[in-house]
Amino acid sequence: MSTQYKQREDLVAAPSRFPLREVALFGALLVAIFGVYALMGAAYSTRMLVEAACYAILALGLTIQWGYAGQFNAGVMGFVALGGYCAMAFSMPVNADFWASPLSGELGMVVLMALGGVLVVVGASRLHHLGVPRRLRTGLAVALALLFYLLVSARLGVVTEQIESQFGYIGGLGLPPWAGWIVGGALAGVVGYFIGKVCLGLRSDYLAIATLGIAEIIKAVLKNADWLTRGTATVSPLPWPVPGPETVGFTLARAFYLSVTAVMIAVIFFLLTRAYHAPWGRMIRAIRDNEISSAAMGKDINRRRLEIFVLGCILMGIGGATLGSFNGIFDPQGYLPLNHTFLVLVMVILGGPGNNLGTIFGALTVYLIWVMSEPLALSVLELMVAFGEGSFGWDAPTNLDSRALQARVFVIGLLITLVLRFAPKGLLPEKVKHHG
């Protein structure tokens, strides 16, 4: 019975009908945004919109991984941080003192050594073509890798320590920010490629574990490699690709930035929608929905999966870079699983996994609620404390801010479980067309 009903619902959702649901939801969102403008002022609200737009790019990255292909990436934060780092590293001015010092040459030597080591190890891992027994080859490659790792890391430690004490960090490349955005996307894609290569042939649980791990590792590196990122000392201000607030004022500068992100979203949306309806997109969905039969049809499943995963990671890198530049500060400790992984997850599953429009809607809506809930959570807690002091004579906890943050952690968790149970297809479900 239920399946018949579902089929009929899908027929109604055929593309030709009037998109009532979409119009209603986006209309309500628009009203809410106007409300925020009226309440909080233009500068604040435009900032919120730019951030929401950056999150929409992240959410589009996740929706193609999770919605199109059923791959769950639990480490969005890592790719966001990589993008943010690239935005910083490319756009910050060149540290001329460092490049003029002999240390830059030494750092170059270390890099060359590392490259040489990689070449030697890769060479060793191919020795079986020359008739070396496989066991011996593996042992040799591992031993060489360890040896080079120790040599390089010892040298690197010495050099970077001197860099940190003399120059702080190596500085940026002085290029326009968008160069960093592109490289950020590419770097995230490369990391995604290796993770995907290892995990995508296995059950999706392994991908979740590995992405969670790589995110923490990327954060640990960015936090501790002071010579690259100044670590906890943070880098600011990051240049913008549009005129900054100091020349045209906050609202206008943010509006410029917003138009850049809006164009990016439009382009990404257009390309993704094309891809979704192209044979490639159909193949991806066929693999997601019925792996065995599509494998039987002779489709190279793991390759398609890798493509989609890498594509998602690239989008996350670009989105992270855009967000990083906009924030104006690179602070590795500011990357939190809650803000940069789970918030994006909520946007996608609430908006509609696999539906690009739904994902954008989810990103904007959830971010709006997220930002607005911050003062709300705090005032609720203050109310509770005041109540507790008045009625039971409690001592007020000193760190209300951090407690309010924890309350939001709880709410996000609850939201994830509730949506999975009661609205697993999101507010704007993916339109599944039935062929034949």
Partner 1 sequence: MNEFVFFLNYVVVAGSVTGSIYAIGAVGVTLVFSIMRFAHFAHADMMTFGAFTVLLLTTAFPGAGAALGLPTAVVMLPLAMLLTAALAVGIDKAFYKPLRAHGVKPIVMVIASLGVTLMLQGLIRLFAGTSGQSLYVDDRKEIFRLALPFEGARAPIVITEPQVILFVLTLVCVVGLHLFLSRSRLGKAMRAMSDNPDLARASGINTNLIVAVTWVIVGGLAAIAGTLLSLDVTFKPDLSFFLLLPIFAAAIVGGVGHPFGAIAGGFVVGFAETLAVFNWSVLLRPFRDSLPEWLASADNLAFVGTEYKIVVPFVLLVAILVWRPTGIFKGKVI
Partner 2 sequence: MPLLDARDVYGGYGGMNILNGVNMTLEADEIGVIVGPNGAGKSTMLKAIFGLLTVTQGEILLRGEPIHNLPPNKLVQRGMGFVPQEHNVFPSLTVKENLQMGAFLKPGNVRRMLKQIYDFFPPLYDKRHQPAGELSGGQRQMVAMGRALMAEPSVLLLDEPTAGLSPLYMNEIFEQVKQVNAAGVGILMVEQNAKQALAIADKGFVLAAGQNRFTDTGAALLADPEVARSFLGG
Q: How many CB atoms lie within 10 A of CB 382?
A: 13
Q: Which does 3 bind (CB under 5 to 8 A by kind): partner 1, partner 2, none?
A: partner 2
CA dihedral 405, 406, 409, 414 (to 10 degrees): -130
C-beta of 1 vs 100, nearer to partner 2? 1
C-beta of 74 vs 360, nearer to partner 1? 74
Residue ranges in 3-62 that form contacts with partner 2 under rule CB under 8 A: 3-4
C-beta of 263 vs 420, nearer to partner 1? 420
Between the two ends of the chain, the Cα-to-Cα distance in Å is 21
Distance CA(92)–CA(168), nearest Å, equals 14
The three-state secondary structure class of 171 is: strand
Determine contact, residues 167/97, Cβ cutoff 8 Å.
Answer: yes
Task: Please report whether residue 399 would count as binding partner 2 according to CB under 8 A.
Answer: no
Distance CA(307)–CA(22), nearest Å, equals 30
Q: Which does 4 bind (CB under 5 to 8 A by kind): partner 2, partner 1, none?
A: partner 2
The three-state secondary structure class of 434 is: coil
Q: How far is the CB of 4 from partner 2 (least distance, A)?
A: 6
Candidates 1-9, 11-19, 78-86, 92-100; binding stretch for partner 2 (CB under 8 A)? 1-9
C-beta of 172 vs 353, nearer to partner 1? 353
Task: Please report whether residue 1 would count as binding partner 2 according to CB under 8 A.
Answer: yes
Distance CA(413)–CA(6), nearest Å, equals 29
Q: Which does 130 bind (CB under 5 to 8 A by kind): partner 1, partner 2, none?
A: none
Task: Please report whether residue 296 would count as binding partner 2 according to CB under 8 A.
Answer: no
Task: Please report whether residue 391 would count as binding partner 2 according to CB under 8 A.
Answer: no
Question: Which residues does 81 contact at the CB level (< 8 Å), separation at least 6?
Answer: 215, 218, 219, 222, 320, 332, 335, 340
Does an H or E element contain 51, and which? Answer: helix 42-62
Query: Which residues of the chain form contacts with partner 1 (CB under 8 A)?
Result: 70, 72, 74, 149-150, 153-154, 157, 198-199, 202-206, 208-210, 212-214, 216-217, 220-221, 223-224, 337-338, 342, 345, 349, 397, 399, 402-403, 406-417, 420-421, 424
Residues within the interface to partner 2 (CB under 8 A): 1, 3-4
